[in-house]
Amino acid sequence: MSVLVDQDSRNKTVALSTATNVVCMGMAGVASMLAARLLGPQGRGQFAAIVVWASLASTLGDLGISQSCSYYIARHRREAGAIAGTAIALNLACAAVLLALLQLFAGRILGNEVAGSARFYLFSVPVSMTVSSLTNMMLGLGYFGRFNLIKTVQAAAYVAGFGSAWAKGPAQVGGALAGILFFQSAGGLIALYCAATVIRLETWRVSVAMARELLSYGVRTYAGNLCWLANGRLDQALLVWFAPMRELGIYAVAVSYSGLLFGVAGAVATAAFSRAARAASGMARRQELTRGLGLLAVLTLPLATGMALLARFAITTVYGVAFSDACQPACILLLGGLFLGANYVASNCLRADGRPGAPVVAEAGGLIITVLALPFVLPRWGITGAAWVSVTSYAATAAGLAVLWMLHDRRTARERHSPLEAS
């Protein structure tokens, strides 16, 4: 009976997360459409450049703390107040240092044309880092309703930001970013309220001992997080230097379209991490990986096929004929999305197993391919070549993660049989 209840709970969790991701994907699609329609290829490229570099900055300053929140709060619920207070303090301290550096170098990274808008929007970095920690606390505690609410509100910020910019008159990149930052900040307050309903604010405190614990786990997962994000965003980040903003705008539309597939994978990976982190044994965590990958295949393979067949019609209808060149890279990136989703599930289960540093080896291998290949490919084959580099990187990472799990299974089997042999 308990097995049936557990299975029902798992199905509800995945269903809730999938529904939330579908809503978030819908809002991301609307925001991407508004960006394309209101800003055009040139403005869409500028917008993508700023947002991508802000995302990289948020991950750079995170130090793996948000992942630590999920892991430790799942295993030490009584220490939730110390985890929450310490994590937020670390987030704000790291963000302050990072912001000071980024304000100085924004012009060199992005160019003077968009530096002003970029410097303003970089204040989203501390908001993003704080919300990420709060969201992961809800995930670790198993409060999927609050977890998904925070995700939905943050996704809505982009639609609301573009909507407010459009209502004021002809949309400009700076105006859209200002609106998005305002609504992201409002969403941050909602995230804080959601966390406070679960972890009473009077229990929040900064603990040096807890800071050491969070950073110890976080540093081990940090490199993997950087490799993960770099593999997913480095192509767009480097296009800022190697291609005109117009091409970046077209490629950003291809990424947005193919990224709808990743929303489904994210729901499965989220549920897998939470359940694996709370599992009682290594075998149970291995089973969560198997179930997650099976469910991922059932959900994403038909979706990817349908999206590839409809790519030209969907992109030209939704984004406009000016973005028709995004169709080919979008189809290529859909293939990469299948590998990327599997990587997300496998990496999450490794981290939930108490091995946050393990995925780094595989993800670093994929990143090496990206770093070495992109500067060579971009000048010759442009955004189509960039898409193929991404697929190759994701596939290499998937192969590395598969090897890591095979080695882990063999080691576990040897440890299980050793006591029997000794006796």
pLDDT of 4: 35
Q: How far apart are the first and last CA of the chain?
A: 36
Please tell me what DSSP assigns to residue 161: H
Question: Measured on CA atoms in the order 305, 307, 308, 309, is the torsion positive or negative?
Answer: positive
What average pLDDT does the segment 91-95 reach? 89
Confidence of residue 115 (pLDDT cuts 50, 70, 90): low
pLDDT of 204: 92
pLDDT of 252: 83
What average pLDDT does the segment 291-315 reach? 88
pTM: 0.65
CA distance 1 to 6: 9
pLDDT, tens only, 306-362: 999 999 998 988 888 888 888 999 999 999 889 988 888 888 777 777 676 677 778
Q: Which two tokens mark 201?
A: 């604010």
Quick check: 99 pLDDT over 50?
Answer: yes
pLDDT of 305: 92
Question: Measured on CA atoms in the order 27, 28, 29, 33, is the torsion positive or negative?
Answer: positive
Q: What angle, rounded to 10 degrees, do the helices at 282-309 and 2-62 form?
A: 70
What average pLDDT does the segment 366-379 reach? 84
pLDDT, tens only, 131-146: 989 988 888 887 888 8
What average pLDDT does the segment 227-247 reach? 69
What average pLDDT does the segment 141-160 reach? 85
What average pLDDT does the segment 64-78 reach? 83
CA distance 217 to 103: 29
Cβ density class 325-362: b for 16+ within 10 Å, e for less: bbbebbbbbbbbbbbbbbbbbbbbbbbbbeebbbbbbb
Quick check: 383 pLDDT over 70?
Answer: yes
Of the two residues 114 and 59, the one the predictor is more confident about is 59
pLDDT, tens only, 193-211: 989 998 888 899 998 888 8
pLDDT of 94: 87
For the chain, the C-alpha Rg in angstroms (whole number) is: 21
